[in-house]
Amino acid sequence: MRGFCWTLIGLFVMTGVAVAGDSPQFRGPNRDGKYAETGLLKEWPEGGPPVAWRATGLGQGYASPSIVGDRIYLPGTQGATGCLFVLDLDGNILRSAPYGPETQDKQAPGPRSTPTIDGDRLYLLSGLGVITCFQLPDCAILWQVDILERFQGKQITWTLAESLLIDGDRVICTPGGPDAAVAALDKQTGATVWTSTGFSEPSAYCSPDAFDMDGRRLLVTMTAKSVVGLDAATGQVLWTHPHETDYDIHAVTPVAAGRMLYYTAGYGSGGGMLRLAPDGSSVTPVWTDANLDCQHHGVALLDGYLYGTGHKNSALICLELETGRLMWSTKDVRQGVVVYADGMLYVYEGPRRGMVSLVKATPDGFTRAGAFEVTDGDGNHWAHPVIAGRRLYIRHGDVLLAYAIAAP
């Protein structure tokens, strides 16, 4: 049913430091595919965990839900119009807030960017390049900015797909324009704060991230042909590292651990590890790897080991971060999104299989502890799963499924 947005529980919590059970942005509280849920099933029954509920009528799209307090936010479509759907934790649609035209790309129509929630505001990028800032809880639009128009960026082949980063008082985006491959906007007003002067590479479907390095806030992302590091406060380009892949698809956010920075892409191009200077001002290549050529499915870094799936090398893979050494690989689980919670990997295979596997997160070898197939919904299986409140959320087409994964 439809209704009004109710007051949110926990919206005083800022992005990146959400309370347990919240997932306020792409790939979880820290944008790294890791969820702090505990008390979850370590094995699934035959056929998988029970479905708590299914919500339908969410339109087309490949975005994941964001969850804060007792509300779920998921963009979809009504015709050619993008809408922000608001659901309660029982799967009831309370409201749909239209925000304007959405991409009608033939291969992947509808929104593909996960909302980012920061306090009482929600930020969403359409595939057509328009950032919308919503006021919560009433879902009123406070401002909109067309980043392709403002920064003279060119639309990319499968339209923009990054999930926006809120870093301090700035919204970080990747318009791919002249002297503006990356840009920062004031999160209150949408005004331009800085652009990446001197760096003019097209966008590449990648969601940026930021972290602290010896007194400097370092912003990292991937553009059409590069891994890039910028000073998050000023937009100064500190370094770029070349990496090319087919169709300029660099859709996996670089992963950092201390001074190690891992990057990867599909089509056999693989990835590698860069050693950061203590202040993040430069990088030194350490190793490259062709095994884990992850296309757009994300990787999870746990205790010094990387877990992800390959694209041309369609397998679930474990690499040692320090050396790039292949620990194990299995084709029992093929290309899919990888997320982590409570000692286990959750792998959602796509684009057509729709198989979800529960795998023990260990470098010692592959152990699967259950699997099931997503049969509801239609289109490609591309949305990243979310784990919140001891439930596993999977979006497939106009359906959002909630699976009960709490241990008894």
Identify whether 26 is part of a domain: no
Identify whether 108 is part of a domain: yes
- State which residues form the domain around 356: 34-404
Higher pLDDT, 17 or 394: 394
CATH number at residue 372: 2.130.10.10
pLDDT digit string (tens) for 141-194? 999 999 999 999 999 999 999 999 999 999 999 999 999 999 999 999 999 999
Identify whether 14 is part of a domain: no
Identify whether 1 is part of a domain: no
Identify whether 18 is part of a domain: no
Identify whether 27 is part of a domain: no
**Does the pLDDT value for residue 328 go beyond 60?**
yes
Largest CA distance in the chain: 56
Query: What is the structure's pLDDT at 20?
Result: 57
Query: What is the structure's pLDDT at 107?
Result: 85
Half-sphere exposure of residue 127, counting CA atoms within 13 Å on the CB side?
27
pLDDT digit string (tens) for 213-271? 999 999 999 999 999 999 999 999 999 999 999 999 999 999 999 999 999 999 999 99
Identify whether 53 is part of a domain: yes
Task: Tell me, rounded to whole angstroms, the distance of Cα 33 from its chain centroid.
Answer: 8
pLDDT digit string (tens) for 201-215? 999 999 999 999 999
Identify whether 266 is part of a domain: yes
pTM for the complete prediction?
0.94
State how far the Cα of 265 lies from the Cα of 252, in Å rounded to an integer. 7
Contact 252, 294 (CB under 8 A): yes
- What is the number of structural domains in the chain? 1
Query: What is the structure's pLDDT at 10?
Result: 34
Question: What is the mean pLDDT of the segment spanning 324-333?
Answer: 98
Confidence of residue 21 (pLDDT cuts 50, 70, 90): confident
